[in-house]
Amino acid sequence: MRNFLVLETFRFIGAIIVTLGHFFWGNGHPEAIPNSYILVVEFFFVLSAFLITLKQNPKKQGKTDVYLNNFFLGRCIRILFPYMIVLTFYYFTVFRILYPLKVSLFRYFVNIFLLQILGLNDNFPISEANVTVMVAWALGLELYIGTIFFSIVYFVKRNFKEGLFFICLIMFVVFLNIMKKYSPNYMDVHYLEIFNIPMGIFRIILSYTSGTIFAIFYKFVKEKNIKYKLIIFNILEILVLYFIIRFYGKSNYNRENEYIFPIVIGIAIVIFAHEIGFLSFILKKFSHLGKLSYSIYVIHPIFYEILRHYKIFNLPIYLLCIILSSFLFYFFVEKNIIKLKYKTINKKC
What are 67-78's pLDDT values in tens digits?
999 999 999 999
Would you state the pLDDT for residue 246? 96
Q: Residue 198 forms beta bridges with which residues?
A: 193
pLDDT at 126: 45
- Amino acid at the residue 183: S
**Residue 279: Cβ within 10 Å count:** 19
pLDDT tens-digit map of 221-275? 988 888 889 999 999 999 999 999 999 999 999 999 999 999 999 999 999 999 9
For residue 315, the model assigns a pLDDT of 96
Counting residues of the chain whose pLDDT is more than 70, the rounded percentage is: 95
pLDDT at 347 over 80: no
The total number of structural domains that make up the chain: 1
pLDDT value for 160: 87
Mean per-residue pLDDT for 137-152?
96
In the chain, DSSP assigns E strands to 193-194, 197-198
Label residues 306-318 b or e (16+ Cβ within 10 Å = b): bbbeeeeeeeeeb
Task: Please determine, for residue 125, whether its predicted confidence score (pLDDT) is greater than 60.
Answer: no
User: What does the alpha-carbon distance between residue 253 and residue 187 come to, in Å, rounded to a whole number?
Assistant: 14
34-55 residue pLDDT tens: 999 999 999 999 999 999 999 9
- Which of 186, 134, 141 shows the shortest CA–CA distance to 22? 134
What's the pTM value of the predicted model, to 2 decimals?
A: 0.95
Q: Are 172 and 213 in contact (CB under 8 A)?
A: yes
Mean pLDDT of 120-140: 68
pLDDT of amino acid 97: 85
> 128 pLDDT exceeds 50?
no
For the cut 80, the answer to whether the pLDDT of residue 138 exceeds it is yes
pLDDT category of residue 133 using cuts at 50, 70 and 90: low
pLDDT over 80 at 198, yes or no: yes
CA-CA-CA-CA torsion for 210, 9, 328, 116, nearest 10 degrees? Answer: -20
Residue pair 213/165 in contact by the 8 Å Cβ criterion: yes
Band of pLDDT at residue 325, cut at 50, 70 and 90: very high
Is the pLDDT higher at 280 or at 225?
280
DSSP string over 52-92:
HHHH--HHHH-SHHHHHHHHHHHHIIIIIHHHHHHHHHIII
Residues of the domain holding 72: 5-348
